[in-house]
Amino acid sequence: MERATDPWKDQLTDSQMEKLFKCLKTFMIFDPEMPLQLQLTFLYIASHDGCHKQAMEAALGYSNAAGSRNTDYLAEIHRYKNKPGLKLISKERDPSNLRRYQLVLTKSGKQLVDTLKEQLYG
């Protein structure tokens, strides 16, 4: 006797949500356990390239410590267990105010943005 397959088990019901799913899954390439807070930080910087760190913290409701932790991880040095950062952004001193950092996409960060746009918009 042949078992019937469940037609709902893997049936696509919302193609736009699938696009978002694929985008979020893309972040797993960089870290399979990447927190949503880190993804949001990257997406904010990607949509506000060259923004000040304080502007990002205000927009996302982060403390200074959370902003530093997330931007460090996206930049050169992950502060957890001395792991390397993802190198998706760079933190550059603002020449007009050396107490501020500007957050700028790196080449790898721009490539990730292009991949995400392709997944979303085709």
Asked if the structure places residue 15 within a domain, the reply is no
| Residues spanned by the domain of 110 | 35-121
Q: Indicate whether 26 belongs to any domain.
A: no
- For the chain, what is the domain count? 1
Closest CA to 39 of 79, 47, 15: 47
Q: What is the CATH number of the domain that holds 59?
A: 1.10.10.10
The pTM (predicted TM-score) of the whole model is: 0.87
* Residue 53 covered by a domain: yes
Residue 8 reports pLDDT greater than 80: no
pLDDT at 53: 95
| Whether residue 30 has pLDDT greater than 80 | yes
In a domain, 6, yes or no: no
Q: Please report whether residue 20 resides in a domain.
A: no
Residue 114 in domain:
yes
Over residues 74-94, the pLDDT tens digits come to 998 877 667 889 999 999 999
Q: Say how many residues make up the chain.
A: 122
pLDDT digits (tens, 9 = 90+) for 91-105: 999 999 999 999 999
